[in-house]
Chains A and B, each alone.
Chain A
Amino acid sequence: MQKYLARRALFALGTFIGVSVIIFLVLRVIPGDPLVAILGAEGHAQMKPEDRVRIMADLGLSAPLPVQYGRWLIDIGAGRLGKSFFRGDTVADLILHRGPISAEIALLSFIISWIVGLPVGILSAFKPNSLPDSLARALSILFIAIPGFWLGMLVVLALLFWFGYKAPILIVHFWQDPWQNLQIVIGPALVLGLAQGAYIARMSRSCLLEVIGEDFVRTARAKGLRERLVVLRHALPNALLPVVTISGVLLGFVLGGSVAVEQAFGVPGLGRALVVAVIERDIIVVQNLVLLYAAIFVAVNVLVDLSYAWLDPRIRYG
């Protein structure tokens, strides 16, 4: 197991480095002159040549590209993430200040998705093609198709009309005022959680139905076990693995989706910081935030892999 852990961690590290290479290629090599990328062609043309040279040197952008890449990796290792081109904030501050809000949204939406999705999937599988099953399936098809950010906009509009809702301007952390904090994160978490829940319901239904057709389930029924016990004790544990997998994959969707959903709700999370940075072409910030999002995704995939061994005793890593 430890050997497997070490191998898996090494593999993930390789992926992380690959991810950083792609980010560097996309954001620093493709656009050509980084100052043109930041300022746009017109802004760049208006600048004096000596200013350009000074700013480039100041930002460490005049070194050869491989050297710049190496420096970036060293900086990441040392926890120096650079700072915004337009504001004074360092990227590390940005992450520490806004990160918790986005993390809360992701975590809460994950919890909501299981609380909603799994029971719905189980109920559907209990009586396939019954009225509740059809309803559940129709709803999950619908929630998979609705873009989260649009649903978020509609929720905000409704709240605005009936309750005079205002988008939160200040960040209130959980440890400062739990109630206020919850009001900020609950909307995005609900929207993202329901969409994930739809996938989880669909997946758990089809996996359960497949397992229910197997011999050991028939045996359990034949020995006179109540249907509830048959499904919950015998079938469910054997159907969970693909659901866990899909839940891990869905995290990629939450990470991406939260960016748009935060924008819709006007929640000042990390996703909005990324959007602002992209629109302002604040390359250093974009580069590090995109890396962070990808790194989280890679880490979650490792966790999902490890959870297999825990969930399924048949799987043992040597």
Chain B
Amino acid sequence: MGTILREMGRFARRNTLSAIGGVVGLLIVFVALAAPVLSPRDPLKADFRRMNKPPDAQSLMGTDQVGRDTLSRVIYGARTSLFVAFSAVILGTTVGSLWGVACGYLRGRFDLVSQRIMEILQSFPDLILAMAISMAIGTGLQAVIFAIAITRIPFGGRVIRSVALSVREMPFVEAGRANGASSFRVMAVHVLPQCIAPYLVLATTHLGVAIVIEAALGFLGVGVPPPTPTWGNMLADSITALVPPWWLAFFPGLAITVTVLAFNLLGDGIRDTLDPRLSPGFLRLVTGAGRSAPAAAPTPLTSPAAKS
């Protein structure tokens, strides 16, 4: 325990911003988990005596067109948004990573075909692919999770494949093979553990993207359907009014921004710490001590391609 704390302390000193991001992220997760205790009112209960009220002492973030408390809805929205984002990222990155391990280890035709499939999946703008999938399988919590997860698969696949490609040449993997272990066993016992660090990096860096896609889907009316509050569908609700009340448009979006910011900062720090391939020293090692060929720059783990 002491070591973990000391490690965390070192991480915080080196990456102050990421540590702040991590703390804020944890706080938001806590708020989401403790929503029933923390939210001042029922997020679904309409109160027709208090419709369209600007923020005041009774409801700190105002009320919406049917008198529901915005603060409570933002807090409950954290639940849905985080649940969707976490599930989608874990599902997509895990499937992608396992696929990537198989590609990198087995190589050959399987790898070739898989790489083409992933490339094709990456040829869609994320949000548009997610929209199409969630339309096809029906909007709902599971559909949204599934749709976002699919857009995350190729990222996991490509990054982990490159890790597996280099790990498979290492002596201990060869020793495993020489001992007569099956491909499956070598992959599971020897290759997979080496992929954990890049997996964690990938998962954290994609959390922010997943939250934005979820919010965008909700905003466009193809996400988690009302009355379940999500940050995205609250924003969509707010612009149905002719003159949208500012608090309805402001607070849910602020929640999205703060959450994405926190996870992005945390992800940046974790990447700098765990992924040696992106550190300058290693770059020089790969590209030769002299001039670095820019074309050999490593593929960044983070996809910027999914913001909306």
- Residue numbers of A with Cβ under 8 A of B are 14-15, 18-19, 22-23, 26-27, 30-31, 37, 141-142, 144-150, 153-154, 157, 160-161, 195, 199, 207, 210-211, 214-216, 238-242, 246, 249-250, 252-253, 255-257, 259-261, 263-264, 274-275, 278-279, 281, 286, 290, 293-294, 297-298, 301, 308, 312, 314-315
Given contact pairs A37-B136, A148-B308, A255-B128, A18 touches B116 in the complex (Cβ within 8 A): yes
| CA of A256 to CA of B260, assembled, Å | 18
Check A15 against B123 for contact (C-beta < 8 Å): yes
| CA of A234 to CA of B206, assembled, Å | 35
**What distance in Å separates the Cβ of B137 from its nearest Cβ neighbour in chain A?**
6
**What distance in Å separates the Cβ of A88 from its nearest Cβ neighbour in chain B?**
22
Closest to A153 in B: B249
Q: Is B4 interfacial (CB-CB < 8 Å)?
A: no
| CA of A239 to CA of B297, assembled, Å | 11
Q: Number of residue pairs across A and B with beta carbons under 8 Å?
A: 187
**What distance in Å separates the Cβ of A45 from its nearest Cβ neighbour in chain B?**
16
**What distance in Å separates the Cβ of A21 from its nearest Cβ neighbour in chain B?**
8
Interface segment, B90-98, B166-174, B178-186, B287-295? B287-295
**What distance in Å separates the Cβ of A211 from its nearest Cβ neighbour in chain B?**
8
Contact of A145 among B264, B297, B308 (CB under 8 A): B264
Check B128 against A290 for contact (C-beta < 8 Å): yes
Check B249 against A157 for contact (C-beta < 8 Å): yes
Most buried by B among A142, A150, A253, A314: A150
Contact of B220 among A22, A144, A253, A275 (CB under 8 A): A275
Check B136 against A31 for contact (C-beta < 8 Å): yes
- Residue numbers of B with Cβ under 8 A of A are 116-117, 119-121, 123-129, 131-133, 135-137, 208, 212, 215-216, 219-222, 235, 238-239, 243-244, 246, 249-250, 253, 256-257, 260-261, 264-265, 280, 283, 290-295, 297, 303-308
| CA of A4 to CA of B142, assembled, Å | 44
- Residues of chain A contacted by B136 (CB below 8 angstroms): 26-27, 30-31, 37
Check A27 against B239 for contact (C-beta < 8 Å): no
Check A286 against B132 for contact (C-beta < 8 Å): yes
Closest to B283 in A: A210
Check B208 against A145 for contact (C-beta < 8 Å): yes
- Residues of chain B contacted by A253 (CB below 8 angstroms): 125-126, 304-308
- Residues of chain A contacted by B295 (CB below 8 angstroms): 241, 308, 312, 315
A sample of 22 cross-chain residue pairs with beta-carbon separation below 8 angstroms, ordered by A number, consists of A14-B116, A19-B123, A26-B132, A30-B137, A141-B261, A147-B216, A148-B308, A150-B256, A153-B244, A153-B249, A157-B244, A199-B304, A211-B292, A241-B295, A250-B304, A252-B305, A253-B305, A257-B216, A257-B308, A275-B220, A308-B295, A314-B293
Check B290 against A215 for contact (C-beta < 8 Å): yes
| CA of A279 to CA of B218, assembled, Å | 12
Check B128 against A293 for contact (C-beta < 8 Å): yes
| CA of A42 to CA of B41, assembled, Å | 35
Check B219 against A260 for contact (C-beta < 8 Å): yes
Check B307 against A297 for contact (C-beta < 8 Å): no
- Residues of chain B contacted by A281 (CB below 8 angstroms): 135
| CA of A80 to CA of B294, assembled, Å | 43
Contact of B308 among A240, A246, A261 (CB under 8 A): A261
Given contact pairs A145-B261, A145-B264, A160-B243, A256 touches B127 in the complex (Cβ within 8 A): yes
Check B133 against A260 for contact (C-beta < 8 Å): no
Given contact pairs A263-B219, A294-B124, A142 touches B244 in the complex (Cβ within 8 A): no
**What distance in Å separates the Cβ of A138 from its nearest Cβ neighbour in chain B?**
9
- Residues of chain B contacted by A148 (CB below 8 angstroms): 307-308
Given contact pairs A145-B257, A294-B125, A312-B294, A249 touches B304 in the complex (Cβ within 8 A): yes
Check B120 against A19 for contact (C-beta < 8 Å): yes
Check B294 against A19 for contact (C-beta < 8 Å): no
- Residues of chain B contacted by A144 (CB below 8 angstroms): 264, 304, 307
Given contact pairs A15-B120, A257-B308, A263-B219, A31 touches B137 in the complex (Cβ within 8 A): yes
Contact of B291 among A18, A142, A215, A301 (CB under 8 A): A215
Closest to B253 in A: A150
Given contact pairs A26-B136, A144-B264, A210-B283, A252 touches B250 in the complex (Cβ within 8 A): no
- Residues of chain A contacted by B280 (CB below 8 angstroms): 210
Contacts A15-B116, A290-B129 known; 19 new A-B pairs at CB < 8 A: A26-B132, A145-B257, A145-B261, A147-B212, A147-B253, A147-B307, A149-B235, A153-B238, A153-B249, A207-B294, A210-B292, A215-B290, A242-B297, A252-B306, A253-B307, A274-B131, A275-B220, A279-B221, A286-B132
Closest to A142 in B: B261
Most buried by B among A23, A239, A252: A252
**What distance in Å separates the Cβ of A146 from its nearest Cβ neighbour in chain B?**
5
| CA of A81 to CA of B200, assembled, Å | 43
| CA of A269 to CA of B290, assembled, Å | 49
